[in-house]
């Protein structure tokens, strides 16, 4: 049976509970018994929907990506081309930050990408999600290089690997630390992160401008 066969309230409770358990305790130490008990389900009912911990984990990742994707309009990388490349990147990053600040279970599930014992090698959903992000990033950088918004003095594959590593570090830190700051401080730090990426990637001829307007001032 599929998770979607559950009513909406029970389905959300399972996803929220499983996300919290995996984030707090890691994959290996997460307890299915604790999840089942918190959800108020019998074991037979739970195993009617999930055969194993790995299947539950993959379901959480898949549903989180679907939920975020329904709220985030991710442009095709080719749509970023042109003089507004960095403004469009800023708009996308701002939307991501706003989603993270809502504190939904789907946003919380982003931490699963950084749990030390997350089973990347055994989780098709996690591998597919990471591969999709890497592919989009590589194509976005290539678009930026072609339109002159991104420096091209490094091999594109090396540049993509470097940027992916930096973005993972920024995302990991933000997911775990950013909410400890006040709203104005969160905005300041988010803008500083974007400026760091801009300085890392933009050609010297582009660096003079500030690509990070205050939140709420973006158009479109």
In three-state form (DSSP H/G/I as H, E/B as E, the rest C), the secondary structure along the chain is CCHHHCCHHHHHHHHHHHHHHHHHHHHHHCCHHHHHHHHCCCHHHHHHHCCCHHHHHHHHHHHHHHHHHHHCCCCCHHHHCCCCHHHHHHHHHHHHHHHHHCCCHHHHHHHHHCCCCCCHHHCHHHHHHHHHHHHHHHHHHHHHHHCCCCCCCCCHHHHHHHHHHHHHHHHHHHHHHHHHCCHHHHHHHHHHHHHHHHHHHCCCCCCCCCCCCCCCCCCC
154-194: pLDDT as tens digits: 999 999 999 999 999 999 998 888 778 888 898 898 889 99
pTM for this predicted structure: 0.85
Q: Which CATH number fits domain 3-59: 2.60.20.30, 1.10.10.60, 3.50.50.60, 3.90.650.10?
A: 1.10.10.60
Alpha-carbon radius of gyration of the chain: 19
HSE-CB of 182 using CA atoms within 13 angstroms:
2
62-121: pLDDT as tens digits: 999 999 888 888 999 999 999 999 999 999 988 888 888 887 899 899 999 988 888 887
Judged against a pLDDT cut of 60, whether residue 208 lies above it is answered with no
Mean pLDDT of 197-214: 74
Percent residues over pLDDT 70 in the chain? 90
Provide the residue ranges of all domains of the chain, joining segments of one domain with +. 3-59, 66-201
Judged against a pLDDT cut of 70, whether residue 57 lies above it is answered with yes
């Amino acid at each position: 049976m599929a998770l979607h066969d559950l009513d909406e309230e029970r389905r959300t409770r399972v996803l929220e509970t499983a996300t919290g358990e995996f984030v707090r305790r890691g994959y290996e130490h997460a307890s299915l018994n604790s999840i089942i008990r918190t959800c108020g389900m019998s074991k037979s009912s739970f195993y009617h929907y999930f055969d194993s911990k790995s299947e539950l984990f993959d379901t959480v990742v898949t549903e989180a990506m679907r939920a975020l994707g329904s709220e985030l309009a991710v442009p095709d990388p080719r749509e970023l081309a042109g003089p507004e490349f960095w403004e469009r990147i800023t708009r996308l990053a701002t939307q991501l930050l706003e989603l993270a600040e809502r504190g939904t279970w789907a946003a919380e599930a982003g931490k699963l990408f950084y749990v030390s014992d997350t089973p990347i090698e055994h989780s098709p959903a996690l591998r597919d999600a990471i591969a999709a992000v890497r592919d989009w990033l590589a194509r976005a950088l290539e678009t930026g290089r072609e339109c002159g918004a991104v420096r091209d003095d490094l091999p594109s594959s090396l540049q993509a690997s470097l940027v992916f590593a930096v973005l993972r570090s920024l995302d990991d830190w933000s997911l775990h630390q950013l909410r400890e700051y006040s709203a104005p401080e969160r905005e300041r730090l988010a803008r500083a992160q974007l400026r760091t990426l801009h300085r890392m990637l933009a050609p010297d001829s582009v660096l003079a401008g500030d690509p990070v307007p205050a939140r709420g001032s973006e158009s479109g």
